[in-house]
Amino acid sequence: MNRKLLFILTAGTLVIGGCAASIRPLRTLPRRVASGDTGSFTAQVSSLDTITANNKPTGTQITFDETYTTSQQMTKGNSQTLTVDLPDNYYLTGLTLSMHSNSKGGAGTLTINNTQIISGTFSSSSWHGSWSQSFVNVVVNNNAFTNLVKNNDVNEFTIVLAATANSLYCESYTLSWGYYEDTNIYHTVSFNALGGGSFDARQVIEGEGAGELPAPTKAKDEENQKRYQFLGWYALSNTDNPANPTFEGATEYTASTPIMSDVTLYAKYQEISYYKVIFNSNGGSSVATQEIDAGQKANEPAAPTKENDNQYSYSFVGWYKEAGFINIYNFNDLVNENITLHAKWNQSLIPAKNIIAIQDTNSSLSYSNYQRNTNNIKDTLTRAFTGVSVGTSYSSWSNKTGASGVKYAGNSAGSNNTIQLRSTDNAGIIVTSNSGLTAKSIKVTWNSSTTAGRVLQIFGKDTAYTQTSNLYNDNYNGDLETELAYSDAVDYQIIYQFEHSYQFVGIKSKSGAQYIDSIEIEWQRILYTYENLAIRFGGRIDADLWTRLDTESSIQGYGVLLSTYEYLNAQPEKDLKNYYASADGTNVKKFTNADTYPDHELKAEPTLKDGYRVWNLYKQVRLEDATKDYVGVAFIQINGEVVFLNSLRTSVKKLAQQLIAGPDRDENSLGGSLNYLANL
């Protein structure tokens, strides 16, 4: 057994002699008897970093180091370090230093194995007790030294002596030693975990316990669905079949069981059958399979969720025993076989918001059915896309439009024909304009010249970035969606699916220069198609709207019905019921059978179909009575895809905001879809 004794003399800043970190915790020596063999030796400081010692026990190793340029002297902040490694069975009994101070006084500390033994001025009782400019003996014999050294199972010491004020001098270290004989009887305790792992044997003193015993873990039998619970360690009475013992008559051993002879302990296990409970979520979120001990209850998992599809929303009903949803499963039932449970969902048509709450009584909305559709579009960003020249010079670029219509800006270089990014000087890529798309995934393809371990940060938010410096400001960079490490790339590529919905994305390097061949961002657009959609937009026609109506060149869509209401004191004779426009928009005519239509409304006869321009109707009314203010109401009846009149986007936006009680980018709501369509 190797017991190392390490002394460190230190003052001021603690200096460790290189191996202090490996010292074992000190403990009292059991049953060891001093042999009466004692002695001492002196380690003499002969020159800088050099020490000589005579009469030391054979095998003793000594090293020495000092930080000041004059031998034996230590000025403030400097130190001497002496490391002593005594042979086995030797121990330290005393320590004497030959020291003195200078004419101005001196102070310091003595530290052994990270424990402070002495501290203070040289004239204090803890050192010499008076000032001395010639070498005197300092006998280290206080309680701190005694507690640290006596009866401890170590024989390696590091001593650090250091000056904290003025100078101290030390010319030698005298160490007294003793020798003991180990009279203990030791026995070997071995472990056979029977497939539960490998554990080292240990030497234990006769009559003492083996201490904390290892805890083996035996792998479960997947094929036969059995697991093994560790019960304890046992000494066998019958070792005829040690690979598969019966443990009949075996003796259990614990940490405190006295060891009286060499012994091999065997791990005993209880074999437990288990069954699998598999959860089929039927398109919902994944639910982990459970392994339940025979005769126990399964744990009811948190309810799964299922995303809305193009038309329906889903609510979880429960777990059923059959795929046909006949019997709901009772989680109080005991599990005694493998079972699969099936998630049942209630399906509901996603409702539109009720328009009755709109205060404008001239507005209304109705439809018979609708369908929600998604359209994914990918933008590929390369060095050529950015327009930056090939080379190492960084430059800013902006207003680059991808296939999706999203606009990008950035600050990058073009080394090796790549998008070169760095983690300083506002380098990065941002999205500055987006017409309602949501980021779904990003694929980064690095160039092989990128240093392994470089990390790319992906940010997201719901408002536009204005400049790449936003990415370096916590108030403007948005949410950190993820970090992609080049070292994790497969074939230089990483594909990441966004966990959150963002309209605007920012990309920057977190760590140094990165060279990227391409960045592919997949965007998703959500579209709604309504059947028999009827929307009536209300609001006063102001001068700006009149101007835009006058300059509008065409109206897309079909089956457009239009009516106006006088803002005050409605006058039926001034209504649009008498007018319609010809296909070329140049000939405004009166209906010959106008009296057959209700007041204040123009009905489109079967002859008024697709392509007719109606903007002249607004213009005509305005010209006939320029003194009147009118409330313009556009009644749009569309079967099929929704297309809004450009001239009425303001009204569409207003209605959308009323539907959703304010601006909202949630395209799952009807108001959100109208808000989106108004920005097409």
For residues 83 and 151, state if they share a domain. yes
CATH value at residue 49: 2.60.120.260
Alpha carbons 267 and 214: distance in angstroms, whole number: 10
Query: What percent of the chain clears pLDDT 70, i.e. is strictly above it?
Result: 67
- 401 token code pair: 């439009």
Average pLDDT over every residue of 649-671: 40
CB within 8 A of 153, min separation 6: which ones? 3, 24, 26, 27, 28, 29
The pLDDT score that the predictor gives to residue 333 is 96
Domain membership of residue 361 (yes or no) is no
For residues 234 and 86, state if they share a domain. no
For residues 672 and 552, state if they share a domain. yes
| Structure confidence by residue, pLDDT tens digits, 411-463 | 999 999 999 999 998 999 999 888 678 899 999 999 999 999 999 999 999 89
For residues 509 and 558, state if they share a domain. no
| Structure confidence by residue, pLDDT tens digits, 223-234 | 999 999 999 999
Domain membership of residue 293 (yes or no) is yes
For residues 174 and 209, state if they share a domain. no
Given a cut of 50, whether residue 363 has pLDDT beyond it is no
Given a cut of 60, whether residue 112 has pLDDT beyond it is yes
- Geometric angle at alpha carbon 357, from 354 and 360, rounded to 5°: 120
Average pLDDT over every residue of 534-561: 35
Domain membership of residue 35 (yes or no) is yes
Q: Which of 163-177, 308-322, 345-359 has the lowest mean pLDDT?
A: 345-359
For residues 441 and 517, state if they share a domain. yes
The pLDDT score that the predictor gives to residue 39 is 86
With b for 16 or more beta-carbon neighbours within 10 A and e for fewer, the 27-54 pattern comes to eebeebeeeeeeeebbbbbeeeeebebe
- Listed residue (450, 469, 453, 461) closest to 508, CA to CA: 469
The amino acid occupying position 512 is: G
The answer to whether 346 and 318 are in contact (CB under 8 A) is no
Domain membership of residue 425 (yes or no) is yes
Q: Quote the domain boundaries for residue 177.
A: 5-181
Q: What is the pTM of this model?
A: 0.39
- Listed residue (394, 437, 373, 447) closest to 417, CA to CA: 447
CATH value at residue 336: 2.60.40
For residues 618 and 495, state if they share a domain. no
For residues 155 and 88, state if they share a domain. yes
